[in-house]
Amino acid sequence: MRIWKFGDNVNTDEITPGRYNVTTDRNRLAKCAFVEVRPDFSAGVGSGDVIVAGRNFGCGSSRETAPLALKACGIAAIIAFSFARIFYRNAVNLGLPVFVSQDIPEAAQDGDTGEIDLVNYTLTIGDKVFTLPRPPQFVIDIVQSGGVINFLKNGGTLG
Amino acid sequence: MYSRSSKTKKALEECRRLGLAQKILSAKAGREVQPGEIIVVEPDIIFAHDTTAPLAIEAIERLGREIADPTRVIFFIDHVVPPSNVDAATLQKTLRTFAKKHGIKLIADGVCHQIIAERLARPGMVIVGGDSHTCTSGALGAFAAGMGSTDIAIAMSTGKIWLRVPDSYGIRLEGTLPLGVGAKDIALKVCSLVGDAGADYMAVEYTGLAERMLLADKLTLTNLAVEMGAKTGLVGGGSECTKTLELDVSDLNPQVAAPPTPSNAKPVQEVKGVAVDQVVIGTCTNGRIEDLRIAGTILKGRHAEARTVIVPASRAVYLQAISEGLIETFIECGAFVCPPGCGPCLGRHMGALAPGEVCLSTSNRNFIGRMGDPSSKIYLASPATAAATAVEGKITDPRRFM
């Protein structure tokens, strides 16, 4: 697992630029994630990689193609100091794990390698083990169902 | 001049009930609700547009349910209208087919937020839309929040949505607006004071001078609420809530937000003279007739040095602009007048930027690459500043034309 580090205020235009945001095809979306502002990401991202970012990750447009593209290109989780509210909700709805953390965005460096354990909620970088905040149970259920649509189809209820 | 404050916990409990957002949601829920509570409500309007509806349709079909109440559901085609290529046309065909099959109203003659403000929103409504600027309709006293496609799909197929009741961020405007300074300048100034995420998950409630403004100006204020992270923006209410900001606008200068975020606003004097390749006047922020009139007074009888793209926000605005002679003024000055829609704001349709080009726009986002190549730059400003800049081909203080 490789960590892709981003700063504050990463917006959804950067994640899926408007000109590429013309499809719902997962493979096409996967190729356009960060394609313009961070081409090394779209070229090098691998399945199971983790994004670590600063404040207000996913701000701007409500486009759900942003978390969808990140999920489709293999991102296993996003850990940020804080998230924009629409992105956070979209990611949970799609079954993409998102975690708010103060210490990981400070400690993790771009290119770090390690392990993320989404059963025990830990992130290991080198010899350092970080605890991820355990989400509320209904969020865990949604993510483990692979998203809110599957969750509802399997008999889950909201509110 | 401004001041801010945060309430103590006790004072907070006292005033929380006064927020307009909580009042609307309490009326909707049929009981008094408190900030932080998760509630389930039945929205009065549930909508998506040509960029967000396709994923919503996929989710509805995967869910395998019908549309709970088609009379509360609307599809808009406004982002790439008429379609510019096969991809866009194909997505829009999906919308049209689905809408016809399920009896959903489809509207394609203006920007969704403008149409909702003109024809559909009423005080006390709950509106959820697959677009982040859904908060715009809060200017009419509705609780209006943007969401993603899957949430909208669930709302369309169940008729319900869960919401976390937000705290309120009260913004009280004092004083009188100087000549050449308008609602957009206030909105940008407030963004710079509150910050990109300063109102995260909150309802921004404008009071004071804001309550006496024209609806067009109120819509401009609430439109930019999401640029501070807010869930919705409202005008009115008695919100001296969790956080407050008081801003005296009497000595406010025209504001320009330099890249890369709307919060990077500064007085026009600090950026004047920056050469501009393109000017855009329009969008859900500033594409109303009042905005076009301001642009018209500056552009009349002059020649636009910059490539100038003017987009009325709706068919009604377009027709009114024709009858007032504004469209003639724009075409005579060398501007392109485009059909109502969102196009250039998000780099999807008309007015795209080449590498290194600079645009000054009346829209709401100046993110890197939003309107074109990632090396292009976007400055945000009022219709007056945009028109003055169009004439000079460089960022210009509009007051020299007044």
Query: Residue B1 has what pLDDT?
Result: 62
Inspect the interface and report whether the beta carbons of B200 and A21 lie closer than 8 Å: no
Tell me the nearest-neighbour CA distance from A57 into chain B, angstroms. Answer: 10
The tens-digit pLDDT sequence of chain B (402 residues) is: 677 766 555 555 544 456 899 999 999 999 999 898 889 999 999 999 999 999 999 999 999 999 999 999 999 999 999 999 999 999 999 999 999 999 999 999 999 999 999 999 999 999 999 999 999 999 999 999 999 999 999 999 999 999 999 999 999 999 999 999 999 999 999 999 999 999 999 999 999 999 999 999 999 999 999 999 999 999 987 555 678 899 999 999 999 999 999 999 999 999 999 999 999 999 999 999 999 999 999 999 999 999 999 999 999 999 999 999 999 999 999 999 999 999 999 998 999 999 999 999 999 999 999 999 999 999 999 999 999 999 999 999 999 999
Among all chains, which residue has been given the structure tokens 């809530």? B241
Closest-approach residue (CA) in chain B for A151: B63
Identify all chain A residues contacting B160, using CB atoms and an 8 Å cutoff.
159
Whether A93 maps to a domain, the answer reads yes
Do B295 and B386 share a domain, yes or no? yes
Query: CATH number for the domain including B170?
Result: 3.40.1060.10
- Residue bearing tokens 């649509």: A149
| Chain B partners within 8 Å of A85 (Cβ) | 200-201, 229, 231
Q: Are the beta carbons of B314 and B118 closer than 8 angstroms?
A: yes
- Cβ contact A59–B196 (<8 Å): yes
Give a yes or no: residue B26 inside a domain.
no
The nearest CA of chain A is from the CA of B91 a distance in Å of 8
> Considering its fold, how many domains does chain A have in total?
1
CB contact under 8 A, B162 and A13: no
Q: Is residue A156 domain-resident?
A: no
Q: A99 lies in a domain?
A: yes
- Give the gap in angstroms from C-alpha A63 to the nearest C-alpha of chain B: 6
Domain end residue (candidates: B115, B148, B164): B164
| Residue where one domain finishes, among candidates B201, B216, B248 | B248
Partner residue facing B150 (CB), from A23, A37, A148 = A148
Q: What's the confidence (pLDDT) of residue A9?
A: 95
HSE (CB half, 13 Å, CA atoms) of B25? 32
pLDDT in tens, B208-224: 999 999 999 999 999 99
Find, among A82, A43, A127, the residue nearest to B196 by Cα.
A82
Residues 113-132 (B) with a CB less than 8 A from some CB of A: 130-132
Interface touch B148/A93, C-beta < 8 Å = yes
B303 within some domain: yes
Residue B149 and residue B181 in one domain: no
What is the 3 state secondary structure string of chain A?
CEEEECCCCCEHHHHCCHHHCCCCCHHHHHHHCCCCCCHHHHHHCCCCCEEEECCCECECCCCCHHHHHHHHCCCCEEEECCECHHHHHHHHHHCCCEEECCHHHHHCCCCCEEEEECCCCEEEECCEEEECCCCCHHHHHHHHHCCHHHHHHCCCCCC
Phi/psi at B237 (nearest 5 deg)?
90, 175
Residue B2 inside a domain? The answer is: no
Question: How far apart are the C-alpha atoms of B236 and B288, rounded to whole Å?
Answer: 21
Contact B27, B125 (CB under 8 A): no
Question: How many domains does chain B divide into?
Answer: 3
Report how far residue A112's alpha carbon sits from residue A116's, in angstroms, rounded to the nearest whole number.
Answer: 12
Helix residue ranges per DSSP H, B324-402: 326-332, 383-392
Query: Which residues numbered 202-231 in B keep a CB inside 8 Å of some CB on A?
Result: 229, 231
Q: How far is CA A139 from CA A52, A144, B39, in A?
A: 20, 8, 16
Question: Greatest CA separation found in chain A?
Answer: 43
* Model pTM score: 0.94
> Does residue B185 form part of some domain?
yes
Low-confidence ranges of chain A (pLDDT < 50): none
| DSSP category for residue B362 | S
> Per the domain annotation, does B333 fall within a domain?
yes
Say yes or no: A68 contacts chain B, CB-CB below 8 A: yes
Of B195, B218, B248, which closes a domain?
B248
Yes or no, beta carbons of B368 and A84 under 8 Å apart: no
- The closest alpha carbon to A27, from A7, A42, A9, A44, belongs to A42
Nearest to B162 among A19, A90, A158 (CB): A158
What pLDDT score was predicted for residue B16?
Answer: 46
From B205, B352, B216, select the one nearest B289 (Cα to Cα): B216
For B365, which DSSP code?
-
The closest of B359, B376, B388 to B283, measured between CA atoms, is B359
Position A10 in a domain: yes
> Do B200 and B171 belong to one domain?
yes
Contact call for A159 and B38, based on CB within 8 A: yes
Does any domain span residue A9?
yes
> CA B358, CA B363: separation in Å to the nearest integer?
14
Residue A150 lies in a domain: no
Cβ burial of B326 (10 Å; 0-12, 13-18, 19+) is: buried
* B207 and B298 part of one domain: no
Q: Is residue A85 part of a domain?
A: yes
A 37-66 residues with CB < 8 A to B: 37, 55-56, 59-65
> B137-170 pLDDT, tens per residue?
999 999 999 999 999 999 999 999 999 999 999 9
| Same domain assignment for residues B192 and B309 | no
CB A148 to CB B64 under 8 A?
A: no
Pairing of strands B377-380, B358-361: parallel
Q: Which residues of B touch A23 (CB under 8 A)?
A: 87, 91
| B179 and B155 part of one domain | no
> Which CATH number characterizes residue A74's domain?
3.20.19.10
Is B22 domain-assigned? no
Q: Is residue B21 situated within a structural domain?
A: no
Domain membership flag for residue A107: yes
Residues B289 and B196 in one domain: no
Span A97-112, pLDDT tens digits: 999 999 999 999 999 9
Query: Could you tell me if B277 and B220 lie in one domain?
Result: no
Q: What is the CATH number of the domain that holds B132?
A: 3.30.499.10
Put simply, whether A25 touches B (Cβ < 8 Å) is no
Containing domain of residue A16, as a range? 3-133
The domain of B312 spans: 256-396
CB atoms within 10 A of CB B350: 16
> Would B25 be classed as within a structural domain?
no
Alpha carbon of B47: minimum distance to chain A alpha carbons (Å) = 13
Same domain, yes or no: B153 and B174: no
Alpha helices in B162-308 (DSSP H): 183-194, 215-223, 283-286, 289-299
Q: Are B311 and B208 part of one and the same domain? A: no
Chain A: give the shortest CA distance to residue B136, in Å.
14
